Amino acid sequence: MILTGPAIAAAVSAGEITIAPYDPARLSPNAYDWRLGDTIRICDGDLDAATLTAFTELAIPASGLVLQPDVLYLGVTLEKTGSETYAQLLNGNRTIGALGIWVHVSAPLGHQGHAIRWTLEIRAAKPARVYPGMTFGKLVFLTTVGAPASYQQQRAKYAATQGIDISRLYEEIPQGAL
């Protein structure tokens, strides 16, 4: 089941959901409007699942950054979110989609217990200017069924993510980067 905006607010007050920074005005009927952080990584060259990805990291200036087509950008949410009680789904929103920006299509699930600033996969259909702190999507909280298993207690490669994290799939490929 999806939590309503008032249920999200109550869970934040009870300490069951962490959203930092939190602004109750960003609640909608069934979600929380999350924002783009102020840093972006541009993946350099060809991408290879067996190799560490090279990138250039930039601060997004207050005047904005124009995203270009055919470039993979990795961004980060402004908010750090998490919950030991609820799972999360992070999505772009209709407003960003109408600008031709696809965000976080491949990995929307935030496991129970995973408290992070989300790494975002961002692509643009046409040149589009983005700004730090702009609304970029919706975060939904879901009730879970069964015994809880905190993501932070798992041996998961992204459990300690602090910000933008590149793919570490190479760790699973025997001939991958060392």
Cβ(53)–Cβ(47) below 8 Å: yes
In whole angstroms, what is the distance from residue 103 CA to residue 93 CA?
9
Is 121 in the active site?
Answer: yes
In the set 57, 121, 171, 172, the catalytic residue is 121
In whole angstroms, what is the distance from residue 101 CA to residue 103 CA?
6
Residue 65, both tokens: 């950054």
Cis peptide before 21 (omega within 30 of 0): yes
Cβ(130)–Cβ(36) below 8 Å: yes
Active site residues: 121
